[in-house]
Amino acid sequence: MFGKTQYRSINAMLNRKLEEKGVLIAVHRGSSGGHIIENTIPAYKAAIQQGGDMFEADVIQSTDGVLFTFHNGEEPRLLNVPDNIKTMDSATIDRMQYRNAIGNISRYKIERLHDVLAAFKGEDVLMNIDRAWDIWAELLPALDQHDMMEQILLKGPVRREHLDYLNEYPGKYMFMPIVDSEADIEIMLEYTDINLVGMELVADSETHPLFQDELIAFLKSKNLFVWANAIVLNDERVLFAKYDDNTSIIQDPALGWGRLLNKKVDVIQTDWPALLSAYRNKRLR
């Protein structure tokens, strides 16, 4: 069982899915392509249909306090505008139209978080909320209104100002820190009132301390799952020793996803859920 005993009921869906699947597939920004846009309800539905167990939703806040699912910084590519969406009010955001995968204007609008939560409440799917740690004071009360604690996994960096808030917040949402060093792990283990269920390990090579089997075994001894990123953001940044989607698809899945399974990670984040799902099911059946 992952997580603390006192939060067993909150973590029940996560633990059941891990027991059933062995390894969970987390889908980066949902599954987009063609005329389906990332971080929208259709993309999240596509992710689930392709074998995803969890979808990632990036969340931002407008200047007038409305929460949307969008990865700020992607405005030029997705909206053909130069401005950061965080500097806009909700009326402006609601009027915008996405560009699709080939740059054509679509009728898709930027989703409000309220609508995304309503669409998936009660479904057998987990939702990983990313990039919202600086607005937890606004986000968490909004999440409370939907009564979906067992479906939501929060993600964030190891920063004490954010961790202190989460530690004191009465609603014990599942939390997974983004861990870059052993020092980050030590800091996280100091917090006794956070519903810590796992850690995302970032390791740029096989010699990195966070890549080592002993470190992974240590985390599991603390009832924490291990999340590894197979996504490829660009040619420079390596998230987990190049055991990634590109290696798996261009060379051989055994050299990417297969090595992650050999490392006994518990969650793999991918941009290619259908291919990873087929490989996982073949390997683990």
How far CA 13 is from CA of 3, 38, 51, in Å, comes to 12, 25, 16
Q: Which of 174, 196, 268, 132 is nearest to 186 (CA)?
A: 196
User: Helices marked H in 121-239 — which ranges?
Assistant: 136-144, 160-168, 182-188, 213-221
Cβ-based neighbour number of residue 27 at 10 Å: 30
Query: What CA–CA distance (Å, rounded) separates 231 from 196?
Result: 23
∠ CA 115-44-35, nearest 5°, is 100
Residue 285: band (very low, low, confident or very high) from pLDDT cuts 50, 70, 90: confident
175, HSE (Cβ side, Cα atoms, 13 Å): 28
Query: Per residue in 200-236, pLDDT tens?
Result: 999 999 999 999 999 999 999 999 999 999 999 999 9
Question: Per-residue pLDDT for 284 more than 90?
Answer: no
Query: Per residue in 159-169, pLDDT tens?
Result: 999 999 999 99
Distance of CA 248 to the CA centre of its chain: 20
Task: Determine the 3-state secondary structure of 227 from DSSP.
Answer: strand
269 near 228, Cβ under 8 Å?
yes
Cβ-based neighbour number of residue 189 at 10 Å: 12
Q: Which CATH number fits domain 5-59+116-284: 3.20.20.190, 3.40.50.1970, 3.40.50.2000, 3.10.450.50?
A: 3.20.20.190
Query: Per residue in 259-277, pLDDT tens?
Result: 999 999 999 999 999 999 9
Q: Where are the domains of the chain?
A: 5-59+116-284
